[in-house]
Structure 1
């Protein structure tokens, strides 16, 4: 839902003043304009935001919920707006913020317009007006594309997070109406997809049958970027130390240890206690470079001056399992990730002490993130499953 930003500021003014008259004076608007803005907002949201009485207007429970999210949204947006041009607080529109985000992402007006389903001149006009009001260039036109300036990038990022807060507000208002809205988006790393999430999601959806959950997969750097942009609600998987950037927070759930695995009947199981020199003679399926589990693998052999004979680098457990089942390749993976395959007899664990590979698994969220009740319940369910 696209919200009229001016109407949202009027809503905050009324909630603060408790009176249309006082809110109109503080916002330099007529009383009918304030009344109309609140009416349109309530109609769009499908809830009453205020209880009307002879003593004034008082936020309903839905109004209080909405006010908190709107305040958080403007706190994110206005901090950057104040650095660029304070007057933008009065002039910036939702259409302009959407155009700003789209052009910043696509680095091209035509592609941005296609993403928004608009004509290219419409998007160009929105950015031009925004730059005129800001009296700053928010984009640099280069031979390689339309690239956001530092301030343009900062404003686009603030707008993304502000819109994410408004989406959270819609989900919370829907819950007050006993409805489900939006999606909970989880950035899931390999261990969580095979070990924690399946159990947690089934349990959660027994209680919240109408709630949609979207699992996003990808390299850690991409998932972290999506989290910071407000496109992903939280990440679950191996934690990074030190924390990669100061606008995210990590919470440990448990510790996981790597395992070496092979197919049942692999020759390595007939040779007694295996040592690294023997293991280095076999080809391996391992995680991609720069992942925590791969770092452990490289360090384990590297400290002994050993180089395994051949590597297949893959992030897919299914691919690893199939290669191991058909060949004499060995695998190096998270113990939690392959627990089910070992329990079912599809793979066999090699007896080798890997306690030094212990690593923390947990949740990563944006600093200051405020989950909705549904998100909070899902996180609690994940914590219980872990």
Structure 2
């Protein structure tokens, strides 16, 4: 079954049955007759292949299937946010947003161009917002259109998750988890959590998307990934996101194994005399590096190369006298192999909080909750704990 077979008004009716407990009250709440809401519920149960409610003399009681599905239906409708959105309008708007043209949307959906135009135009008129603007021969979403597309995407994800939850209930595991991994999460914490998770849930589809925060934050907000792990931002600028702390990371100053400063306990004045390889402007690590010298009243050293890739930084350090500031977890293999050496710890106050960022509206599945619990178990008992030892 695909979500496009759902009737959004019928989903609203099912949510109301769950909330109000009787067919009569739910019918009044969604402006349907009792026979109509009874027919809608029967059709939904037939489509899903499971009963959603037990009919008792004192009202309707949720089945296990309804306990899984109703929160998803409610979340989807909250994201969609308007009774004027029908499933055909939702599908057309998302196809247009994803494809960037009506022709592309037709190819994605198999719907005719007139149907797509009509659905998007009707949605725009009913919402009293211009969702699409024409620029010569091209079309583009307006600001209102982009906001609407994001809301509809999140609604679609909730409905797709509902079907995956239902399939799991029937014994056909289709649930998934998409994790955005920023650099500081990749060395130890994330691999350890993934190892534990796949042992417990071998059939759950797990996808890891690597990137910087700038590359991952919009996919997170749009629902393409479920959560993001890495250095937290203070303050958090996106009002639709929330952050949960995991552990403090303490960066160190690194150089090649036979660097002239090795074994000398160098001061900040000593470090300022050497060229550096450091993250680009705006990255938390770059901010911490700049603060390290500014607090000591020193001019910033020469930045020979701006780089965020640990692999690139490692090779540049090995072949030069440059220094860098990184978490020891990020270069644990290089340190153990003796390619790099820790010259000194960073001054106090430069520790970075590592944590999980999610959408404020996110309602995780049980397997997604379990993954987050694995992260907390690996880090909560001891912030300096090495998860690879588990």
Instruction: Give the shorter-chain TM-score range.
Output: 0.7 to 0.9
CA distance in 1, matches of 2:337, 2:167: 42
**Could you give the per-residue CA deviations for residues 333-354 of structure 1, whole angstroms, max 9, x where no partner exists?**
1233223432343421112443
CA distance in 2, matches of 1:341, 1:119: 57
Q: Select which of 317, 338, 343 maps to 1:324.
A: 317
Q: Select which of 71, 76, 84 maps to 2:74.
A: 71
Shift of 1:203: 0.5
Q: Do the aligned partners of 1:277 and 1:306 also contact (CA within 8 Å) in 2?
A: no
What is the TM-score with the length of structure 1 in the denominator? Answer: 0.84
In structure 2, the partner of 1:220 is 213
Give the 5 Å matches for 1:40-119: 40-52=43-55, 57-78=60-81, 81=82, 89=83, 91-104=84-97, 107-116=100-109, 118=111
Task: State the number of aligned residues.
Answer: 375
* 2:144 maps to 1:141: no
**Could you give the per-residue CA deviations for residues 145-178 of structure 1, whole angstroms, max 9, x where no partner exists?**
5343444333323222222222332333334334
Q: Kindly tell me: are residues 23 and 299 of structure 1, through their superposed partners in 2, closer, same or farther at Cα, counting changes over 3 Å?
A: closer
SS in 2 for 1:186: strand
CA distance in 2, matches of 1:260, 1:317: 14
Q: Kindly tell me: are residues 169 and 261 of structure 1, through their superposed partners in 2, closer, same or farther at Cα, counting changes over 3 Å?
A: same
Deviates more, 1:191-200 or 1:155-164: 155-164
Q: Kindly tell me: are residues 74 and 353 of structure 1, through their superposed partners in 2, closer, same or farther at Cα, counting changes over 3 Å?
A: closer
SS in 2 for 1:265: coil
Shift of 1:287: 1.8
SS in 1 for 2:228: strand
* Structure 1: runs of 5 or more not aligned: 82-88
CA distance in 1, matches of 2:341, 2:147: 50
Give the 5 Å matches for 1:1-386: 1-2=2-3, 3-15=6-18, 27=30, 34-52=37-55, 57-78=60-81, 81=82, 89=83, 91-104=84-97, 107-116=100-109, 118=111, 120-143=113-136, 145-269=138-262, 272-302=264-294, 304-386=297-379
Q: Kindly tell me: are residues 63 and 196 of structure 1, through their superposed partners in 2, closer, same or farther at Cα, counting changes over 3 Å?
A: same
* Structure 2: runs of 5 or more not aligned: 380-390
In structure 2, the partner of 1:85 is none
